[in-house]
Structure 1
Amino acid sequence: MSIGKEILFFFGALGAFNGFILGLYFLFFTRKKYLANLFLGAALLALSTRITVTVFVYFNNHLAKTYLQIGLSACLFIGPFLYYALQSGIQNTISGKWKWHLGLWFLAVFIFGFLFPYQNYPVLWNDYFVSCIFFQWFLYLAFSGFENRIFLQKLFNNYSSSTPSEKWFGMILVGNIFIFISYFLGFAGVSFVSCITGALAFTFILYLIILILLYRNRTDDLFVLNIQKNKKRNKEEVLILSQKLEKIMTEKELYKDPNLSLRDLSKEVNMSSHQLSQFLNTNLGKNFTSYINEFRINNACEIIASNNKLTLESVGYDVGFNSKSTFFAAFKKHTGTTPLNYQLQFL
């Protein structure tokens, strides 16, 4: 292998490897589990699978046909995952039928792959299936662009004043189009273009995404476009939800768990972490920590009033604080006095 080919192999393989890592990050390790993240992670895994096969086939023509089938089959999921990533991120809504939609594609890949394996039907795959796969990818890109045309028009007409999330989703769509074109031109046999061009295009765009994530101290504002931060629920909804929260907190005494998280509480009330945080901030005027500490301080006041033999430090630990200083600071903030002064009232 020449030095030039070694360099191409290195960058192509490196992009595929890092694509897998970033895909797993979006699927499992982002702090907030937006649907857009999950679909983007799945799309990256599908792309990385396709890129991996492309790189090895380019430098090894004798690669087993099974790997070629896996790489081509992965292409069938790039378009659907991208489409739903954009829908859930830009439109902030998604049809409940998406599981059936994706399930049908998985079923089609399994059935056709089993009945017509590449190993036994190379002509069928090369002459027909490949064309169908690229046409399907193209259709999803076209639908994604059409359904988000207003967003794209706004982005291109006034890019400098666009929000970070608008630029983020615009880059994802345009980057995918660029990768598709690179692959399509390679398969079409255009001069000076080969399938490895698609792999290199993916590597370039992937590192652009990584740089954006590393550059920004905060990334939550990238993943959902239409978060309505100031949207308030009506009074009846606020009353019902606040009563539900209070009942769960008091009956289960969740506040006594020093490791209680926003995600834990959101599961108890069957809401997403983002929705619960938005409700607390917008409708109750409190962040999660303040809300939980109110229950802890109220319970601490009851304990101090009923039993003056306990040490203040032990009271703090009993109600869910993980340190004496945190308990004292929260007590002073919520009652306007120190735990000691409060205790003296009952001596």
Structure 2
Amino acid sequence: MVESSQLLFFLSALGAFNGFILSLYFAINAKKKIFANYFLSLLLLVLSIRIVKSVFFYFNPNLSNIFIQIGLSACVLIGPFLFLYLKPCAENEKQNWKKHVIPYLVIITILSFFYPYIEHQAVWSCWIVNAIYLQWFIYIILSLKYIQPIIQKIKEKESLKKIDVWHLSIFVGVASIWLAYTLAAYTSYIVGALSFTFILYLIALLLIFRNSTETTFFQEKEKYKNKEIDTEMQDLISQKLSIIIEKELYLNPDFSLEEAAKELKVTKHILSQYVNEILGKSFSNLIKEYRIEKAKKLLETEKNFTLESLGYDSGFSSKSTFFTAFKKITGFTPAEYQKSLSKSVR
């Protein structure tokens, strides 16, 4: 029993130790890369503080109350740092990070001063901790917005970039740790720490894998470096792409890169390279553009249909996907575009 307890302590504490090391790594590299690395560093730091508290409290219930209070307080910043890390990856705008960090720091500081854990354990257990975990969950939901494009790629069977896999791993990892702590009352308190160790090592393996193939961690390497498509092949593919339009193959909601390559009688790799390098877009976005052009023609020529059915008639698998793509490509919603056509006729 003693050996198993020691092994459990080693495995759970190992994750926290490596979390501190990775936090330092990203903090140092943030200067050379992008500002978002600071948020990743801080995310790993507060997670590690929370895990350290869990590990030592599990094996030593008589742990100093101030240490317990610090560990619990760190949780208030996990959600915000996850949100702030993922947000810049989706939006090219300056982060107003202060409104997501300072208010929570002020609130938790005030609560810690007037209701210290050592004197108000019941208040912390029943109210403060539950409020912190609720706030953490809310930020997980808010962060989901920036993971949605990756999920959409998976639904549309589009290949994910390695950076997409990385962001998805971070999000799923933090959400899993939240779930482990939330369900701790029904499992074991140490599950959260063990889950952090397991998830951290999966992420570390991904980090090592990326660094073994790329010089800069947060940059996608050139996918087709030293494999240029000759002019003759470019002209051939350009001509063949019209087949997709003529046969309206894009109207099939499940139309994929593999099917397109087979129809055009070229390899999947060459077609993907042509669309990415020559056209400057992904195959998924190219097909969306074809579908939106079809939708625009239907809006111009047909009257007896609803806007809801328009997306399905254009090859989209859902109304929400159609509306999002239409707005992104044309700058209008389908209804706004329809109104603009009515005005031009007048």
TM-score interval w.r.t. the shorter chain? 0.5 to 0.7
Q: Is the 8 A contact 2:33 2:218 kept in 1?
A: no
- Tell me which residue corresponds to 1:134: 133
Q: How does 1:1-347 map to 2 (within 5 A)?
A: 2-30=2-30, 32-95=32-95, 97-155=96-154, 157-158=156-157, 161-186=159-184, 189-190=185-186, 193-216=187-210, 217=212, 218=214, 220=216, 222=218
Alpha-carbon distance in structure 1 between the residues aligned to 2:146 and 2:54: 31
| Root-mean-square deviation (Å) | 2.1
Q: Tell me the secondary structure at the aligned position of residue 116 of structure 2.
A: coil
Shift of 1:167: 0.7
Alpha-carbon distance in structure 1 between the residues aligned to 2:206 and 2:98: 30
Letter in 2 for 1:84: L
> 1:111–1:59: structure 2 CA closer, same or farther, 3 Å change rule?
same
> 1:148–1:215: structure 2 CA closer, same or farther, 3 Å change rule?
closer
Q: Is the 8 A contact 2:80 2:139 kept in 1?
A: yes
Q: Is the 8 A contact 2:49 2:71 kept in 1?
A: yes
- Tell me which residue corresponds to 1:285: none
Alpha-carbon distance in structure 2 between the residues aligned to 1:63 and 1:158: 50
How many residues in Structure 1 have an aligned counterpart in Structure 2? Answer: 219
Alpha-carbon distance in structure 2 between the residues aligned to 1:165 and 1:156: 18
Shift of 1:104: 1.3
Alpha-carbon distance in structure 2 between the residues aligned to 1:179 and 1:219: 30
Question: TM (normalized to structure 1)?
Answer: 0.59
Structure 2, unmatched stretches of 5+, are 222-346
Shift of 1:155: 3.8
| Structure with bigger gyration radius | 1
Alpha-carbon distance in structure 2 between the residues aligned to 1:92 and 1:52: 35
Quote the sequence identity (%).
42
> 1:211–1:102: structure 2 CA closer, same or farther, 3 Å change rule?
same
Letter in 2 for 1:142: I
- Tell me which residue corresponds to 2:268: none
Q: Tell me the secondary structure at the aligned position of residue 118 of structure 1.
A: coil
- 1:117-167 deviation line (CA, Å, top 9, x unaligned): 0011111001111110110000000111134423322245536x1101111
Shift of 1:215: 2.1
- Tell me which residue corresponds to 2:272: none
Q: Is the 8 A contact 1:35 1:89 kept in 2?
A: no
Q: Tell me the secondary structure at the aligned position of residue 220 of structure 1.
A: coil
Shift of 1:31: 6.4
Shift of 1:219: 5.8
Letter in 1 for 2:166: W
Letter in 1 for 2:179: I
